[in-house]
Amino acid sequence: MKNECYIVRDLLPSYIDQLCSEESSRFIEQHIATCEQCAELLNQMRVEFDIQEQSEIPARIEQKKPFQKIAHFFNAQKNFTKFLSIFFWVALIVTIGFFIYSLNVLSELNDEREKTQVIEQQKQDIMEKTFSVLSTPVTIDEIALQAIFQEYSGQLEQLAVFSTENIDEDDVIYLQEGPKNFFPIDYSQAELIIGENGKIIETIIPNDYDIGTVAMANDQWIVQYEYQESYLETIENAHQIKHYAPSNWTVFQLPIVFIIITAFILGGWLIQKRITKPVENILD
Ligand SMILES: [Zn+2]
């Protein structure tokens, strides 16, 4: 064994672990090429090294396991965050959709409410004007009533005045509260009936539609008018809106519920993001 052999054998473990400098590695390789004994020794050491490596693999896997579990956990967290973000955007879009829809419903509803108010105001106006004519008793001013009728000739079928004397007292008290939808009083009892062409003297068959007739009383007189057939649909709509229209709260119920749901999802998403942020880069 040459002197060189001792040096080479000292260096072999480092050479196998690839820890030698380039010069040392070249020196070893040159020596091995010419020295059978050192070459033999290197082979033996390599075989041993491989066996050692093999036996270490299961141990390394065991070491890796807890980290794999943690990685798995954080990956699940990351997926959950992603799911929440998608869920949030979908909920937001649905909320905006419902909100726009509700705004449309509200705007239509407000239009209907305005129309209803106009009709309600009109009822008051017709009654006020008629009673102001009737406030000078003794005889009824037929021409003045005709003028009032003409003002509403697009809506009214006929306008009649009755004396309270012939009418049931309970009905009179009820009608003194204001303009009411009323089952028509028999026109044969009327003091005066005005129609399109002035005073009506023919027999009138009253409208049987329960909201087509409006009546109101003071101590002395009852005024009763009927709407024209063609105006009844408008009256019916106004009646529906006045008594059965949904409140603004009801119109916006769905979007409000969805805003709350969306806010919860957003909250969950932001919390999840904070949890997963510190490990995001490590996992990528
Ligand atoms: Zn040698």
Calculate how far, in angstroms, residue 49's C-alpha sits from the geometric centre of ligand 1: 20
pLDDT tens for each residue of 73-121: 888 888 888 999 999 999 999 999 999 999 999 999 999 999 999 999 9
pLDDT computed for residue 138 by the predictor: 67
CB 194 within 8 A of CB 163: no
Calculate how far, in angstroms, residue 51's C-alpha sits from the geometric centre of ligand 1: 24
Calculate how far, in angstroms, residue 50's C-alpha sits from the geometric centre of ligand 1: 22
Calculate how far, in angstroms, residue 33's C-alpha sits from the geometric centre of ligand 1: 9
Structure tokens at 246: 């949904």
pLDDT computed for residue 137 by the predictor: 63
Calculate how far, in angstroms, residue 23's C-alpha sits from the geometric centre of ligand 1: 17
Cα separation, 255 vs 95, in Å, equals: 6
Note the pTM of the prediction, 2 decimals.
Answer: 0.64
Calculate how far, in angstroms, residue 46's C-alpha sits from the geometric centre of ligand 1: 16
Q: Is the pLDDT of residue 66 over 80?
A: no
Q: Report percent pLDDT > 90 for the chain.
A: 62
CA 14-32-4 angle, 5° bins: 75
Under DSSP, is residue 196 helix (H, G, I), strand (E, B) or coil?
A: coil
Calculate how far, in angstroms, residue 54's C-alpha sits from the geometric centre of ligand 1: 28
Mean pLDDT of the chain: 89
pLDDT band at 49 (very low <50, low <70, confident <90, very high): confident
CB 202 within 8 A of CB 137: no
CA 173-215-191 angle, 5° bins: 95
Calculate how far, in angstroms, residue 41's C-alpha sits from the geometric centre of ligand 1: 9
pLDDT computed for residue 275 by the predictor: 81
pLDDT computed for residue 122 by the predictor: 94
List, in sequence order, every residue forming a beta bridge with 199; answer none if it has no partner: 194
Structure tokens at 187: 């026109």
pLDDT band at 281 (very low <50, low <70, confident <90, very high): low
pLDDT computed for residue 127 by the predictor: 96
Q: Is the pLDDT of residue 284 over 60?
A: no
Calculate how far, in angstroms, residue 249's C-alpha sits from the geometric centre of ligand 1: 96
Sheet of 198-199: strand order equals 180-181, 213-217, 221-227, 156-163, 192-195, 198-199
pLDDT computed for residue 264 by the predictor: 96
Calculate how far, in angstroms, residue 42's C-alpha sits from the geometric centre of ligand 1: 10
Rounded to an integer, the average pLDDT of 52-73 is: 77
Residue, of 145 and 205, whose pLDDT is higher = 145
Calculate how far, in angstroms, residue 17's C-alpha sits from the geometric centre of ligand 1: 19
Q: Is the pLDDT of residue 1 over 80?
A: no
Q: Is the pLDDT of residue 282 over 80?
A: no
CA atoms within 13 A on the CB side of 256: 6
pLDDT tens for each residue of 144-185: 899 999 999 999 999 999 999 889 999 999 999 999 999 999
Cα separation, 141 vs 20, in Å, equals: 128
Cα-Cα end-to-end distance for the chain: 54
For strands 180-181 and 213-217, give the pairing. antiparallel
DSSP tally for the chain: helices H, then strands E:
8, 6
Torsional sign, CA 24, 26, 32, 35 = negative
DSSP annotation string for 94-148: HHHHHHHHHHHHHHHHHHHHHHHHHHHHHHHHHHHHHHHHHTS-SS--HHHHHHH
pLDDT computed for residue 121 by the predictor: 95
pLDDT computed for residue 279 by the predictor: 67
DSSP annotation string for 15-37: HHTT-S-HHHHHHHHHHHHH-HH
pLDDT band at 135 (very low <50, low <70, confident <90, very high): confident
Domain residue limits, the chain: 3-56, 74-109+248-283, 120-236
Torsional sign, CA 217, 222, 227, 229 = positive
